[in-house]
Each structure stands twice: as C-alpha cells, then as structure tokens.
C-alpha cells in the first residue's frame, strides 16, 4: 500500500478515462443504431495508430495534428465500410455480423503485419516526455496525457451537442430508440446507419491516433483496448453517455489503483480489467444502470441518461 501515490494515480486514471470513453462511445453508437457489435473496433484503433505514424514519417505531420486528418478519413472509411459490406448483412442473425467484423479485423491485422512488420513502434517527439510540475502537490503530469484527455473530452462534448441539438443528431437518437417510429416520421434509417457507423469508426480512430502518442503499438494493438471497451459498455450501459463516462472512469481507476496504490505488478494490470468484465457480467449483467435502478431513492428521478439498452424495441415487420 502506497497512500502518497493516491492523488497522482487518481489523476492519471482520470486522464486515461477520457480516451477510454472516446473509444467506447464509438462502439456504443454503432450498437445503438445498428444493433451490431463492431469487432473491427480493435483493427481501426490499430490502423489509426499506424496512420498517425505514417503521416509523421512520410509527411512530417506532427502527431498531435494527425487527428485532423485521421478523423475525417476514418469517418469516410467507416461510411464506405457500412455501405459496401456491413449493410448487406443487416437483419441477419447476430453471429453473422460478429463473424464478418471479426474477419475484417483479422484482415486489417494481417495487412498491418505485411506493411509494417510485427515490430513494436512508438512515436517519440521532443514533447513526448515533457510534463508540468505542481510543486505544492508534489505532482507531475505529462503534457501529452493531458492533451489527449482534453482532445477526447472535447470530441465527446461536441458529439453530445450534435446529437442533442441538430436534426440529424436527433434522427440518430430516434433511430436508436425506435427504428420503425423513426422511419414513420421520414428518417432514412439506412442513411442514418451509414452516418452513425462512420462516426463510430471515426471515434475509434481518434482514440487510436491519440493512444499512438502515449503508448507503443504493433499490429496486435487494439485487441486489449477493445476488450476494455467491452468492459466499459457492460459497466456503463450501451446507450448512455454518462454511463459510458462512468464506466471508463471506474475501469481506469481500478487499473491504476491496483498497480499504483495497491502495488500489483504492472503486467497484471490488464488482468484487472478483464476480471472486472467477468465480474460485472456475472453479478450485474445490465451494468450500473441496473444497480441504480435498484436503489429506490433514485428511481423517481427522470433516468434518461442511465436507461439500459432494453428501452429500444427490436425492429419488427417484414423486409423493405
């Protein structure tokens, strides 16, 4: 036990949680609109990391500027992927989309091995190790860690604004909550699916691009992060922004505390996340929202931000 490290470890966890939330929200958005789990998430995170590296080595683009290219690029890529591939299996059994996206991930991974080999890469710039010292609290915070946190947070806030204020954003939410009702008021749900898939992929890519600045990566990068994303959306509920932020924070805290405060070996850190996933699935299959729902004093408040996936009905009816 090392209590003096509680503050810096907690701050480190909060900064990490920003990125965790960004990548998990991409998965949740796609699930919400299309009811499919994007197993290519890991591949997109990894490819975006390499794209960031490639933009630097080939064009001398500073990695912190890479998201300006990576995000729109992967948005278009995601829309193309939905249009050409994923859309074709709409309405099929869940296993079909799981296998399809799993296969896409493997293809991405193998391509990366061919193009960049399996060697571990990292992006090192003069500012990589620069940090702020806060003497009074005996605290050191890496500039980059702070930067990627702010970038992730600002993106999520902008996305929230888009979803709650614009017609298009509201159409995305409506499609998530009741697809047929959305069609009945004139929402082209095929188009919405494509846009949502693009946004989801762009978020995964943003996370990958930001992670590339602070973590080493290889073609297998993204696998562990994807499993962590699953843990987060299982904890936080799939449709709720606040739930995902809370899930990301809880997971990051559990990881960082177990190592930094409780003194667990660093190599066991990921074990903490996956144990959390297993525990939550067994003890609390509907995540935090279910727990909150069980507390009587909370029940009467409007629970818009914490309602579980079950509130949306499956798409019924025949083909069209």
Partner 1 sequence: MALLEVRGIDVFYGEVQALWGVSFTVERGEIVTLIGSNGAGKTTTIKTVSGILTPASGTIEFDGQRIDRLPAHKVVGYGIAQIPEGRRLWPEMSVQENLELGAYAGEARGKRNETLKRVYELFPRLYERRGQAAGTMSGGEQQMCAIGRGLMSLPKLLMLDEPSLGLSPILVAEMFNIVREINSNGVTVLLVEQNVRHALELASRAYVLETGRLVLSGAAHELLNNPQVQSAYLGF
- Please identify which residue in 84, 93, 114, 185 interacts with partner 1, judged by CB under 8 A: 185
Instruction: Give which of 252, 244, 247 is closest to 269, Cα–Cα.
Output: 252
Burial of 147 (0-12, 13-18, 19+ CB in 10 A): middle
**126 or 317: CB nearest ligand ATP:** 317
Question: CA 160 to CA 187: how far, in whole Å?
Answer: 20
DSSP conformational letter for 92:
S
Work out whether 311 is an interface residue with partner 1 (CB under 8 A): yes
- Under DSSP, is residue 117 helix (H, G, I), strand (E, B) or coil? coil
Work out whether 83 is an interface residue with partner 1 (CB under 8 A): no
The least distance separating ligand ATP from the CB of residue 318, rounded to whole angstroms, comes to: 7
- Helices and strands: H and E segment counts in the chain: 13, 2
Work out whether 163 is an interface residue with partner 1 (CB under 8 A): no
Instruction: Give which of 148, 197, 161 is closest to 15, Cα–Cα.
Output: 148
Q: Which residues bind ligand ATP (CB under 6 A)?
A: 316-317
The least distance separating partner 1 from the CB of residue 311, rounded to whole angstroms, comes to: 5
Work out whether 290 is an interface residue with partner 1 (CB under 8 A): no
Cβ contact 182:171 at 8 Å? yes
- Choices 35-43, 70-78, 134-142, 172-180 (CB under 8 A): range interacting with partner 1: 172-180
**45 or 187: CB nearest partner 1:** 187
**Interacting positions 223-252 with partner 1 (CB under 8 A):** 239
Chain residue at closest Cβ approach to ligand ATP: 316
- Choices 64-72, 92-100, 208-216, 303-311 (CB under 8 A): range interacting with partner 1: 303-311
Question: CA 46 to CA 57: how far, in whole Å?
Answer: 17
> How far from the centroid of its chain's Cα atoms is residue 79's Cα?
17
Work out whether 188 is an interface residue with partner 1 (CB under 8 A): yes
Q: What are the structure tokens assigned to 76, written together?
A: 């278009």
CA dihedral 195, 196, 202, 204 (to 10 degrees): -160
- Choices 47-55, 70-78, 138-146, 311-319 (CB under 8 A): range interacting with partner 1: 311-319
> Which residues in this chain contact partner 1 in the complex, by CB under 8 A?
167, 170-171, 173-174, 177-178, 180-189, 239, 302-304, 307, 311, 313, 317-320
């Amino acid at each position: 036990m090392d209590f003096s490290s509680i503050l810096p470890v907690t701050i480190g966890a909060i900064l990490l949680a920003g990125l965790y939330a960004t990548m998990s929200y991409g998965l949740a958005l796609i699930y919400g609109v299309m009811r499919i789990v994007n197993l290519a998430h890991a591949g997109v995170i990894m490819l975006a990391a390499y794209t960031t590296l490639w933009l630097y080595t080939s064009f001398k683009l500073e990695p912190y500027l890479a998201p300006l290219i990576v995000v729109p690029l992967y948005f278009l890529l995601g829309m193309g992927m939905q249009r050409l591939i994923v859309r074709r299996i709409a309405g099929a059994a869940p296993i079909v989309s799981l296998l399809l996206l799993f296969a896409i991930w493997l293809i991405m991974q193998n391509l990366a091995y061919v193009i960049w080999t399996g060697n571990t890469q990292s992006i090192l710039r003069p500012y990589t190790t620069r940090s702020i010292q806060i003497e009074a609290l005996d605290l050191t915070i890496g500039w980059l860690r702070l930067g990627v946190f702010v970038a992730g947070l600002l993106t999520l806030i902008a996305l929230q604004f888009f979803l709650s204020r614009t017609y298009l954003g509201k159409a995305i939410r409506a499609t998530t909550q009741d697809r047929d009702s959305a069609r009945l008021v004139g929402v082209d749900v095929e188009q919405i699916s494509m846009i949502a898939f693009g946004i989801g992929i762009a978020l995964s890519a943003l996370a990958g691009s930001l992670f590339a600045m602070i973590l080493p990566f290889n073609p297998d990068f993204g696998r562990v992060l994807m499993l962590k994303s699953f843990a987060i959306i299982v904890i936080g509920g799939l449709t709720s922004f606040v739930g995902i932020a809370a899930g990301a924070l809880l997971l990051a805290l559990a990881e960082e505390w177990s190592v930094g405060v409780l003194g667990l070996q660093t190599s066991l850190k990921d074990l903490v996340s996956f144990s959390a996933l297993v525990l939550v699935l067994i003890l609390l299959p509907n995540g935090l929202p279910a727990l909150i729902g069980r507390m009587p004093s909370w029940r009467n408040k409007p629970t818009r931000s914490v309602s579980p996936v079950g509130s949306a009905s499956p798409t019924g009816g025949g083909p069209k």
